[in-house]
Amino acid sequence: MNLKYLLSAVLLVVAAFASSKAAPRIRPVPQAEAQNAQNATKKQAPATQGGTHEDEGQRIFDQNCSRCHTAPDGFSSRISGTVVRHMRVRASLSQHDEQELLRFLNP
């Protein structure tokens, strides 16, 4: 009987996961890929205002999120704000870092 509840919970998770597939998804840039992109940008042209934000967001992501866990494969843009607010508490982000991280996840 206990397994029935566990199975129900798993099915609920899978169903909810499937229902969220339609939303636009964010894929956090892998560290090496982002580093290469940054290096390429620096060689080609001075950093724009947007590029600066991206660098700052990447730095905050690397320093705070990646320190404990790898980035998830991707997630809906509708929860990016909630993810960042959760990380603000868990990783003790300042308000500035929170805003930069949100901008990084929603360029």
Q: Which residues bind another protein (CB under 8 A)?
A: 2-3, 5-6, 9-10, 13, 16-17, 19-20, 22-24, 30-32, 35, 59, 63, 67-70, 72-73, 75-86, 88-97, 102, 106
CA 43/CA 34 separation, integer angstroms: 14
What's the min distance (Å) between Cβ of 20 and another protein? 4
What's the min distance (Å) between Cβ of 43 and another protein? 17
Residue 56: CB atoms within 10 Å: 17
Q: Which is nearer to another protein, 50 or 81 (CB)?
A: 81
Picking from 57, 92, 89, 71, the residue whose alpha carbon sits closest to that of residue 25 is 71
Cβ–Cβ under 8 Å, residues 101 and 83: no
What's the min distance (Å) between Cβ of 37 and another protein? 13
CA 58/CA 7 separation, integer angstroms: 38
